[in-house]
Amino acid sequence: MKLAEFDTWMRSEADAVESALQAWVPVDAPAGLGLAMRYGMLDGGKRVRPLLVLAAAQAVHGLREAAMRAACAVELIHAYSLVHDDMPCMDNDVLRRGKPTVHVQYGEAQAMLAGDAMQALAFEVLTPDDSAAMPSALQARLCSLLARSAGHAGMAGGQAIDLASIGRPLDEHALRDMHHRKTGALLQASVLMGAACGNASAAQWAALADYGDALGLAFQVVDDILDVTQASATLGKTAGKDLDNNKPTYVTVLGLDAARRHATELRDKAQSALARSGLPDAAWLSLLADKVVERES
């Protein structure tokens, strides 16, 4: 019964996020920019990060409006990063979420601007002019969490390490550091932004931070596994891209079987941290951890 309820919750919340993004991502931005933004943002993606925000907020009985804005802001940052990552100067990919990438559809300049505008929109969503559910202190905290996870110490820094590591061997420690920044930081921030919408104690905050850290790395390990075990049609993006580009991954560093074991270990670590939080309403966070590791796309 719990799994059926979880599936219903996921569908409902993903639909709510999609509706909010439909409203917030503009159609009428100048010179077709809005069309490129909406193409890169809407009608695709697993919405894992928004679901983590909303599940964490629910676990701490957080403010719904604040949590929804945080969920959409995180997804805007994630989507902008994909638009830029796919460009020829980065990963040079032509397929994302089962359709041509934004630069293929709209050109490189428009794709660059669409990503820029999506990044800025994330912080606009977090800073409404007049909202009782979003006091200025909460706006500042959410902006800080998101900016730090997306910038030089987080996602952008990890991407820089990734590009600099092409063709170079990395040990497990260096690989972990890269992916803690590139992928893990934004996933951890998703959990903490949800927690910031409520009244988590210091101990609960620390436990949720550990949960998010372990889950963020588990997500990347599974991504590396799927890149070599699934077809492009299943993934919605070009399979085998990392191997073709001679990039270090958890599979190339650890081997496939060891990478699978590591993903399970990280899932167990996330579950232990969640149990340590003592939050009675954290079932969806627990099931999301399982979902991340057991996914096939």
Sign (positive/negative) of CA torsion 274, 202, 197, 63? Answer: positive
* Domain ranges within the chain, ordered by starting residue: 2-291
User: Is pLDDT larger for residue 25 or for residue 243?
Assistant: 25
Look at 169-178, 185-194, 281-290 and tell me which has the smallest mean pLDDT: 169-178
Q: What percent of the chain has a predicted confidence (pLDDT) above 70? A: 99
Kindly report the pTM of this predicted structure. 0.96
**∠ CA 76-92-295 to the nearest 5 degrees?**
55
pLDDT exceeds cutoff 90 at 2? no
Provide the pLDDT confidence category of residue 204 given band limits of 50, 70 and 90.
very high
For range 162-175, the mean pLDDT = 91
DSSP state, residue 282: -
Q: How far apart are CA 68 and CA 74, in angstroms?
A: 10
For range 117-141, the mean pLDDT = 94
Domain formed by 2-291, architecture: Orthogonal Bundle (1.10)
Q: How far apart are CA 52 and CA 186, in angstroms?
A: 11
Quick one: pLDDT at residue 161? 95
For range 64-69, the mean pLDDT = 97
Q: What are the tokens at 31?
A: 């010179």
The CA radius of gyration of the chain, in Å to the nearest whole number, is: 18
Q: What are the tokens at 57?
A: 């907020």
For range 188-192, the mean pLDDT = 98
User: Is pLDDT larger for residue 7 or for residue 130?
Assistant: 7
Q: How far apart are CA 274 and CA 295, in angstroms?
A: 20
pLDDT exceeds cutoff 80 at 244? no
Quick one: pLDDT at residue 125? 98
For range 29-53, the mean pLDDT = 95
pLDDT exceeds cutoff 60 at 269? yes
Q: List C-alpha distances in Å: 176 to 81, 196, 245.
A: 20, 26, 19
User: Is pLDDT larger for residue 246 or for residue 35?
Assistant: 35
Nearest partner of 53 among 122, 135, 129, 153, judged by Cα: 122
For range 258-279, the mean pLDDT = 97
Kindly report, residue by residue over 87-108, the tens digit of the pLDDT: 999 999 999 988 999 999 999 9
Provide the pLDDT confidence category of residue 294 given band limits of 50, 70 and 90.
very high
Q: How far apart are CA 74 and CA 45, in angstroms?
A: 13
Quick one: pLDDT at residue 198? 97
Q: What is the mean pLDDT of the chain?
A: 94
- Kind and range of the H or E run holding 100: strand 99-100
Q: How far apart are CA 297 and CA 293, in angstroms?
A: 10
pLDDT exceeds cutoff 60 at 1? no
Q: How far apart are CA 117 and CA 105, in angstroms?
A: 17
pLDDT exceeds cutoff 80 at 223? yes
Sign (positive/negative) of CA torsion 233, 237, 242, 248? Answer: negative
**Which residue, chain included where needed, has tokens 């796919």?**
86
Quick one: pLDDT at residue 44? 79
Q: List C-alpha distances in Å: 72 to 2, 75, 83, 154.
A: 26, 5, 16, 19
Quick one: pLDDT at residue 43? 82
